Structure 1
Amino acid sequence: MHLPPLRAVLFDKDGTLFDFAASWAGWMGAVIDTLSEGDLARAEALAQALRFDRAAQAFDPSSPVIAGTLDESAALIRALVPAHRVAGLERYLIESSAKAQMVPPVPLDPLLAGLRARGLVLGVATNDAQDSAHAHLHAAGIAGHFAHVLGFDSGYTPKPAPDMLLGFAARAGLPPESVAMVGDSTHDLLAGRAAGMVCIAVLTGMADEAALAPYADLVLPDIGHLPDHIA
């Protein structure tokens, strides 16, 4: 399937530019270990709140961590962490997440360079923190490909609201209908649909094709297949 003519591609980060399970499971396990401070009952309570299997080091597909913001994750576990960690909980999550090792599903630099060579403006809209997003993109050597990088703390209502996506379109000076939103969750696709963008789903997150297809114009195994579908 070929998509309508596009002038920009807006990527989600986690589960899209980077494989979600490969990138975030180790970080989540370490966060739970740190916040539980050796208390096994506390560790299990944290894991249940975040829907993370500590034994398997794997997220449940319904985990709120997958598509939510770090503020939302903090709110879920605030009552479960030791009292002395409550005040700095959000900052700890942001700072530790920025150091997580991201695993791309495909070689990103040639892919993104090829899209830019077609005259496409590239951007990132993530429910992660903006500083963490910049850190991950720089570590992967791809930060220079993106005209705009927006996080949940960039002044817009996070996805599934369309605000961040419309903010990107406005910054790029483009009509939303000329932009493709590429993501791995229904949050991404619902935001894209509400913004009036073309919606492309990829299967490098935690959601399967059956969950994403009703909200997508196109479902791809990963972003490496994008060039075959962009005119």
Structure 2
Amino acid sequence: MIVRVGKTAFDVDMIVFDKDGTLIDLNAAWAPAARIWIETSAGGDPTTMNALEVELGVDDDGQLLDGGSLASEAVGQITARTRAVLLSNGVDESAAEQRMKAAQAGIDQMTIDVRPLGPVRMIMERLAHAGLILTIASSDNASQIHADLVELGIESVISAVAAGDGPWPPKPHPAGIIALADQFEVDPHRLLMVGDSLTDVAAARNAGAAGVVGVARADGTCAIAPMVDAVVQSIGELIVAV
């Protein structure tokens, strides 16, 4: 099936979508959680907070940076980075674990702002109706992915999910994407990756995907533009050729 993005065409059977920054607004969803995680883990200490912001990829305005840990890595990786910063700033291991547990508890009590990037439900239903297999490869845990898909109203058109807490290494490792392809007996060369981060690009290229489409930020910038085959402002620019 031919999927066109501007003047670029891909002959594919499956599309693998990233979630945060691709289908939903990354910072609307996770910047408040990042603040809770950093402040609680640091115990309010300004020096430790600053070190965590640098390590995890948060700017001076509290926004998640493109390619940063919080924007692209799985929970286990973020936790490991946080633990290392706390220990290097004089926090003993027991206190570090207690702080991170408290931080996670605070996040668990939050209501995540799932803000779609455009008419996501309509677009995904159109792509599924055309016969494409739609899947998700995200660094989030499976439970959070499912909750977000329900909130977006697209859980019924998503055929499978590769989550950050799945039985394979998280992106940029290609195993999750390959597992999605194998599940539907799709050659990885006949899948298209749509995402917004370097981990999406690396995972797709290493899996042998037909192509990678980068999703730009609201201001039109796309940090991964030099590494992808096409750039879109939203997934609405994915057109199935009739």
Q: In the aligned structure 2, how far is the partner of 1:11 from the partner of 1:99?
A: 23
1:44 corresponds to which residue? 50
Q: Give unmatched runs, 5+ long, in structure 2.
A: 1-6
Q: For each residue in 1:19-56, what CA deviation from the matched residue of structure 2 results, as whole angstroms up to 9, or x when unmatched?
A: 22232212211222333344334333332332323x51
| Residues 58 and 111 of structure 1, relative CA distance in 2, 3 Å threshold | same
Q: What pairs with 1:187-198 in structure 2 (closer than 5 Å)?
A: 187-197=199-209, 198=211
1:64 corresponds to which residue? 69
Q: Is 2:40–2:99's contact at 8 Å kept on the other side of the alignment?
A: no
Letter in 2 for 1:59: L
Q: Is 2:137–2:161's contact at 8 Å kept on the other side of the alignment?
A: yes
Equivalent pairs counted in the alignment come to 228
Task: Among all aligned residue pairs of Structure 1 and Structure 2, give the percentage whose two residues are the same amino acid.
Answer: 28
Q: Is 2:16–2:136's contact at 8 Å kept on the other side of the alignment?
A: yes
Q: Which moved more, 1:60-69 or 1:164-173?
A: 60-69
| Residues 62 and 191 of structure 1, relative CA distance in 2, 3 Å threshold | closer
Q: Give unmatched runs, 5+ long, in structure 1.
A: none
Q: CA deviation at 1:93?
A: 4.2
Q: In the aligned structure 1, how far is the partner of 2:135 from the partner of 2:106?
A: 22
Q: In the aligned structure 1, how far is the partner of 2:72 from the partner of 2:221?
A: 14
1:140 is the counterpart of 2:152: yes
Letter in 2 for 1:162: P
| Residues 166 and 192 of structure 1, relative CA distance in 2, 3 Å threshold | same
Q: In the aligned structure 2, how far is the partner of 1:2 from the partner of 1:88?
A: 48
1:104 corresponds to which residue? 116
The CA RMSD over aligned residues, in Å, is: 2.8
Indicate the SS of the match to 1:3. strand
Q: In the aligned structure 2, how far is the partner of 1:162 from the partner of 1:94?
A: 31
- Quick one: which of 184, 187, 192 aligns to 1:175? 187
| Residues 177 and 149 of structure 1, relative CA distance in 2, 3 Å threshold | same
Letter in 2 for 1:96: I
Q: For each residue in 1:124-169, what CA deviation from the matched residue of structure 2 results, as whole angstroms up to 9, or x when unmatched?
A: 0011212221122122222122110111221112111211111000
2:3 corresponds to which residue? none
| Residues 37 and 88 of structure 1, relative CA distance in 2, 3 Å threshold | closer
Q: Structure 1 length as normaliser, TM-score?
A: 0.85
Q: In the aligned structure 2, how far is the partner of 1:95 from the partner of 1:36?
A: 14
Letter in 2 for 1:25: A
Letter in 2 for 1:145: V
